[in-house]
């Protein structure tokens, strides 16, 4: 079987990670899998090359780590002139199925394949779907009808798609994101890793993700100001347009010794940072299904999130806060209670085995 995955990569996020994990999974089963990058991402490309994964770059357009709806629409029109190039490449591959990730690929691929019916088209939606109205909704629905199946990466994501487009609810299914759990089993001692990474002693909370407004990393500053415990550090790993704002706010509040902005950290190093820390603090306001949370669970960390991003696939050992006050209370409890940290971390690590990448891969294979 020949499978193509088409993606519009940012620097490196959930969609990119899912594509790589599926590629590994299919490669282990000797399936022919090729990734088509509609835009260029040096970080994504580096990992693809490192792992010996097959990919084709369609354009040299580079995107920022977060992009607005207007920005995506602009990219759509920039990529339209490449219809002939993409169509020629896809037809040459003679693929049996195409996995299409997010916008604008969801619109572009059916345009690329006008008059060509062989590949099975599967659309993968990575975030909660906001309800469109009027002409925009009609256009969206028109293109979604071109797909044999539409995959939501969590039960919540699938529900948001069904709520937005009930006319095609029979096409919409849920295949929850998974993770290569083995990568996060680090044998090295936590305090040895801290020394090697030049991290301080005491309680360390960690946040991993793009530095974007909706990821809400600035709330970590509010937590730091309201926590009574003195011996703690928060690490923020990631890049994005909010970097300068966060840096300036940390400086303004004189919290440079408490909150460390570490910037981009390679995916290979993230498991070590997680192992070195005591809790995963993730105040994001909007997620489809965060792989960063799964990483933290696999590493055996307790996790604090807001209830609006909770999905049932995460189990019942996540600390889910209904508001900011409760969120801060949960962080305070984790700081003060090492037994609670250990209990929740072990429960998370056990639960996340249900979401191993191999289980997810088998579901995609069954669908294909």
Residue 88 confidence (pLDDT) above 90: no
Confidence of residue 1 (pLDDT cuts 50, 70, 90): confident
Alpha-carbon distance of 115 to 138, in angstroms, equals 22
Classify domain 2-180+356-367 at the CATH superfamily level. Glycogen Phosphorylase B; (3.40.50.2000)
Per cent of the chain over pLDDT 90 is 64
pLDDT of residue 337: 96
Q: Is the pLDDT of residue 87 over 90?
A: no
Lowest mean pLDDT: which of 89-93, 150-154, 281-285?
A: 89-93
Among 3.40.50.1820, 3.40.50.2000, 3.30.2010.10, 3.20.140.10, name the CATH number for the domain at 181-354.
3.40.50.2000
Same fold, 2-180+356-367 and 181-354: yes
Please give the average per-residue pLDDT across 88-116, as a whole number.
89
167-210 pLDDT, tens digit per residue, is 999 999 999 988 888 888 888 999 999 999 999 999 999 999 98
With 70 as the cut, is the pLDDT of residue 127 above it? yes
Cβ contacts of 199 within 8 Å, gap of 6 or more:
193, 233, 235, 276
Beta 259-263 vs 232-237: how paired, if at all? Answer: parallel
In this structure, what are the phi and psi dihedrals at residue 320, rounded to the nearest 5 degrees?
A: -110, 110
Per-residue pLDDT averaged across 351-364, rounded?
A: 89
Which of 109, 115, 106 has its CA nearest to residue 89? Answer: 109
Distance in angstroms (rounded) separating the CA atoms of residues 20 and 166: 31
Q: Is the pLDDT of residue 14 over 80?
A: no
CA distances to 121, 217, 297 from 315, in Å: 31, 24, 10
Give the residue extent of every domain in the chain.
2-180+356-367, 181-354
* pLDDT in the model for residue 328: 97
Q: Given this model, what pLDDT does residue 89 score?
A: 84
Q: Which of 196, 153, 185, 198 is nearest to 172 (CA)?
A: 153
pLDDT over threshold 70, residue 66: no
> What is the average pLDDT score of the chain?
91
Q: Are 140 and 167 in contact (CB under 8 A)?
A: no
């Amino acid at each position: 079987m020949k499978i193509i995955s088409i993606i519009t990569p940012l620097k490196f996020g959930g969609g990119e990670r899912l594509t790589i994990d599926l590629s590994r999974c299919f490669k282990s089963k000797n399936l022919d899998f090729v990734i088509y990058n509609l835009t260029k991402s040096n970080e994504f490309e580096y990992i693809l090359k490192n792992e010996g994964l097959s990919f084709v770059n369609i354009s040299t357009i580079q995107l920022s780590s977060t992009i607005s709806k207007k920005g995506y629409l602009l990219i759509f029109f920039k990529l339209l002139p490449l219809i002939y190039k993409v169509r020629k490449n896809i037809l040459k591959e003679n693929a049996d199925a195409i996995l299409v990730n997010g916008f604008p690929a969801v619109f572009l691929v059916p345009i690329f394949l006008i008059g060509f019916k062989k590949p099975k088209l599967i659309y993968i939606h990575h975030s909660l779907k906001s309800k469109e109205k009027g002409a925009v909704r009609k256009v969206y629905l028109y293109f979604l009808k071109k797909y044999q199946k539409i995959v939501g990466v969590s039960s919540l994501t699938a529900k948001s798609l069904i709520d937005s487009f009930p006319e095609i609810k029979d096409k919409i299914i849920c295949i929850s994101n998974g993770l290569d759990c083995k990568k996060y089993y680090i044998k090295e001692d936590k305090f040895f890793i801290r020394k090697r990474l030049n991290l301080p002693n005491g309680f360390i909370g960690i946040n991993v993700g793009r530095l974007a407004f909706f990821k809400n990393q600035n709330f970590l500053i509010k937590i730091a100001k309201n926590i009574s415990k003195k011996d703690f550090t928060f690490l923020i790993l990631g890049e994005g347009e909010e970097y300068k704002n966060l840096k300036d706010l940390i400086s303004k509040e004189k919290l440079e010794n408490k909150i460390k902005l570490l910037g981009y950290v390679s995916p290979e190093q993230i498991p070590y940072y997680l192992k070195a820390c005591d809790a995963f603090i993730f105040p994001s306001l909007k997620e489809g299904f965060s792989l960063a949370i799964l990483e933290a669970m696999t590493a055996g960390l307790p996790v604090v999130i807001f209830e609006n991003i909770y999905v049932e696939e995460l189990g019942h050992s996540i600390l889910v806060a209904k508001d900011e006050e409760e969120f801060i209370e949960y962080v305070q409890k984790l700081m003060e209670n090492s037994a609670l940290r250990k209990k929740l971390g072990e429960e998370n690590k056990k639960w996340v085995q249900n979401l191993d990448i191999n289980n997810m891969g088998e579901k995609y294979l069954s669908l294909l």
